[in-house]
Structure 1
Amino acid sequence: MDNLIKICGLSTPETLDVALGAGADMVGFVRFPKSPRHVSLDLGHKLSLQARGRAQRVVLLVNPGDEDVAQAIEALNPDLIQLHGSESPERVAEIRTMVKRPVMKALGIAEASDLQALQPYAGGVDRILLDAKPPRRAGALPGGNGIAFDWRLLNGLDRKVSFMLSGGLDPDNVAEAIRLTKPQAVDVSSGVESGPGLKDPARIEAFIRAARTAFAAAHH
């Protein structure tokens, strides 16, 4: 049983230090220029070095080309790649072979039929991340929108699928989300921010505390 807590979209040494100090198991760095959480290769390199040996380092990429992947691997040396675009199962497998390290695929959920998209990926990735489908408005980001999907949709999910829950989680609702969906791991980004891309130390600490307590209760 994993029960991992991931803080994603960290972009300053100070907030990364808060997440590491509070006991985050995974820290995520976003390589997507349209995101307010985007980090340059240089900053990503520095943050990754800061987190090395203290948490699993995740680099988030959106529909990356081979060159994007290679640059991210070289600069950040991540423990895991998170693919958050519309990458096909074939493309995911290609990237996994190329990087020779674990890959997590994010899938957007809005209704029960969206869960059918899991199967083609299930055997070819190390973990599935279930996020809320992005809103249909122009310019919406593929993730980090602070919206949740109906967690009850996961009642029928095959429990052999190892998944991380994301989308609209925050310090106030993460315990309920864990109780209802029994995920192996949880992921938060905008839910621990005071504004787009601005991580809030107190909210990071509160989220990790609430999630840790909820995971412990789920085992009893």
Structure 2
Amino acid sequence: MKYATNIQEVAALQPDYLGFIFYPKSPRNFEGAIPEIDHTIKKTGVFVDAEIDFIFEKVKKYDFKAVQLHGSESPEYCKNLREKLTNIEIFKVFGIKDAFDFSILASYEWYVNYFLFDTKGKQKGGNGYAFDWSVLKNYTSKVPIILSGGIGIEELSKIEQILKTDLPIYALDLNSKFEITPGVKDAKRVKEFLEKVEQLTANS
């Protein structure tokens, strides 16, 4: 999210999380003030290989309840961040294209709450297309998964199928397929998607 009015429009739909990107190379880079929103929505700071003190500063300033690490942060980095942010949820992002070595996740498991799998592309997120979810059949970790990467209304049948598996799917990350321009979400389309997912999960 980026702009106050749009933040309030989307927050009115009661998503579980709202993300704010702190990465100057991103067209969604956040520099403003976050308006008052429902306290049950977890405001989330998104960072790419940022200094830990920088993340700590933003968490305190914006009262973030979660932090998403979208760079090449090491297990040691995550350990140090966890020690600094004891009560904050940490998402560690990994990009997937056609294959992935899931064994590298083991050294992160003690320090993160969720693994977020995104499409590996030219940009650090927001590439607008999904990776092959069948790769996840090799996932053996118990850490819950957040699915990301080009998720839109067109993926509902795929979402229904993956929710029937034993994978620990925790959440869906929505971004580029709901954007009017970078950082501006079409609240009507988000509402439609959330309603359809709610129906889908109610029937499963």
For 1:161 and 1:214, locate their aligned partners in 2 and report how far apart those are by CA, in whole Å. Answer: 24
Structure 2: runs of 5 or more not aligned: 164-168
For 1:16 and 1:80, locate their aligned partners in 2 and report how far apart those are by CA, in whole Å. Answer: 17
**Residue 113 of structure 2 corresponds to which residue in structure 1?**
126
Show the 5 A alignment for 1:93-108.
Answer: 93-100=79-86, 101-108=88-95
Q: Percent identity?
A: 29
Structure 1: runs of 5 or more not aligned: 1-9, 136-140
Show the 5 A alignment for 1:100-179.
Answer: 100=86, 101-135=88-122, 141-158=123-140, 160-173=142-155, 175-179=156-160
Runs of 4+ residues over 3 Å off in structure 1: none
Bigger RCO of structures 1 and 2 (CA < 8 A, at least 6 apart): 1
Whose helix fraction is larger, Structure 1's or Structure 2's?
1
SS of 1:112's equivalent in the other structure is coil
TM-score by length of 2: 0.88
Q: Does 1:86 align with 2:77?
A: no
Change (3 A) 1:70 1:21: same
Show the 5 A alignment for 1:1-220.
Answer: 10-40=1-31, 43=32, 46-47=33-34, 50-100=36-86, 101-135=88-122, 141-158=123-140, 160-173=142-155, 175-182=156-163, 183-218=169-204
Alpha-carbon offset, residue 214 of structure 1: 2.5
Alpha-carbon offset, residue 159 of structure 1: 6.3
Say whether the 8 Å CA contact 1:27–1:55 is kept in structure 2: yes
For 1:87 and 1:69, locate their aligned partners in 2 and report how far apart those are by CA, in whole Å. Answer: 13
For 2:138 and 2:160, locate their aligned partners in 1 and report how far apart those are by CA, in whole Å. Answer: 15
For 1:129 and 1:118, locate their aligned partners in 2 and report how far apart those are by CA, in whole Å. Answer: 11
Say whether the 8 Å CA contact 1:170–1:192 is kept in structure 2: yes
SS of 2:92's equivalent in the other structure is strand
Change (3 A) 1:178 1:123: farther
Change (3 A) 1:159 1:94: closer
Residue type of the alignment partner of 1:195: T
Say whether the 8 Å CA contact 2:126–2:176 is kept in structure 1: yes
